[in-house]
Amino acid sequence: MHPMLNIAVRAARNAGNVIAKAYEQLEKVEVEQKGSNDFVTNVDKEAELAIINTIRKSYPDHCIVAEESGELAGSETDYQWVIDPLDGTSNFVRGIPHFAVSIALRVKGKTEQGVVFDPINNELFAATRGSGAQLNGYRIRTTNAKDLKGTLLATGFPFKQKHHSESYMAIFADLFTDVADMRRAGSAALDLAYVAAGRYDGFWELGLKPWDFAAGELIAKEAGAIVTDFAGNHEYLKSGNLVAGNPKVVKQILGKIRPHLTESISR
Ligand code: IPD
Ligand code: CA
Ligand code: CA
Ligand code: CA
């Protein structure tokens, strides 16, 4: 295993321990509101600290961007760790066992390492660029679905950006006619990891943040997926609008999205 992936795995497991322990005493978790329908807990923050401490021990000069702490500068500006300590906070606080730790390392802007760890099911999805993707050490691949018929897609609702509901619902309706079914499980990082593992055929969501998808994106790609924005380009880092799946599935999802692109979700 690449030494930097090794550190990412160690950090993810440390955070996973913090989260799993807290999950056993959910009544003690302190929930705070960040924005409309947007929550953070003391556990998100403690898990994030565990990750940052683990990374900083090995790489004190690397830069970090983490959901709850923001940007932490370092002198080695080529290296940036992108961290979501707890992806699926809503599930976590409600006792729904579907959430994950997500850690990616970008080197000169390119994602080189990625880990998505589900501490409840003890599933560790990992990838190093160019070396394929693994689940608990076993190689994973996307499905080879050729069209939308019979597919299971994952999505996320625009609950923080309800002004996008209308376009979102229009896309959903068009896709839903063709697919077998759709899931909204509540963790974008796991959605992408599940695409990589061939559990879902594809995934689409709008308005994601870099820490939601940085690790999952690499894992999905290393498993044979392509990842694009809603226009089929690669500007999802800016827009946060993502489509993932094998190239045939992505092409067909994009075809369904295209007629509903508006000025505010043009890519
Ligand atoms: C959220 C989850 C969710 C997605 C939201 C994200 P958080 O992350 O990934 O599935 O729909 O857009 O913000 O806040 O639980 O880390
Ligand atoms: Ca959050
Ligand atoms: Ca997230
Ligand atoms: Ca989070």
ipTM comes to: 0.98
> According to the model, what pLDDT value does residue 252 have?
98
Q: Which residue has the tokens 């990616």?
A: 104
Residue with tokens 């498993």: 223
pLDDT at 266: 84
Q: Is 87 in the pocket of ligand 1 (CB under 6 A)?
A: yes
Strand partners, 226: 245
Q: What distance lies between CA 200 and its chain's CA centroid? A: 14
- Ligand 1 binding pocket includes 188 (Cβ within 6 Å): yes
Q: Low-confidence residues of the chain, pLDDT below 70?
A: none
Task: Calculate how far, in angstroms, residue 12's C-alpha sits from the geometric centre of ligand 2.
Answer: 17
HSE toward the beta carbon, residue 32, CA cutoff 13 A: 8
Q: Which of 98, 96, 64 is nearest to 79 (CA)?
A: 64
Q: Which of 96, 168, 187 to mutate to test the pocket of ligand 1 (most atoms within 8 A of CB)?
A: 187
pLDDT of residue 35: 86
Question: What is the whole-number distance in angstroms between the Cα of residue 75 and the centre of ligand 1?
Answer: 30
| Nearest alpha carbon, ligand 1 atom 2 | 187
Angle in degrees, CA 55, 66, 28, rounded to 5? 95
Looking at the DSSP bridge assignments, the partners of residue 130 are none
User: Which ligand 1 atom is at minimum distance from the Cα of 84?
Assistant: 16
- Which residues have beta carbons under 5 A from ligand 3 (an ion)? 84, 87, 212
Q: CA of 127: how far to CAs of 18, 149, 154, 187, 219, in Å?
A: 23, 29, 21, 18, 5
Q: For the chain, what is the HEC assignment? A: CCHHHHHHHHHHHHHHHHHHHHHCCHHHCCEEEEECCEEEEHHHHHHHHHHHHHHHHHCCCEEEEECCCEEECCCEEEEEEEEEEEECHHHHHHCCCCCEEEEEEEECCEEEEEEEEECCCCEEEEEECCCCEEECCEEECCCCCCCCCCCEEEECCCCCCHHHHHHHHHHHHHHHHHCCEEECCCCHHHHHHHHHCCCCCEEEECCCCHHHHHHHHHHHHHCCCEEECCCCCCCHHHHCCEEEECHHHHHHHHHHHHHHCCCCCCC
**Residue 151: per-residue pLDDT:** 98
CB-based contacts of 266: which residues, under 8 Å, 6+ apart?
A: 230, 231
| pLDDT score recorded for residue 162 | 85
The bridge status of strand 138-140 relative to strand 152-155 is unpaired
- For residue 60, the tally of other CB atoms under 10 A from its CB is 10
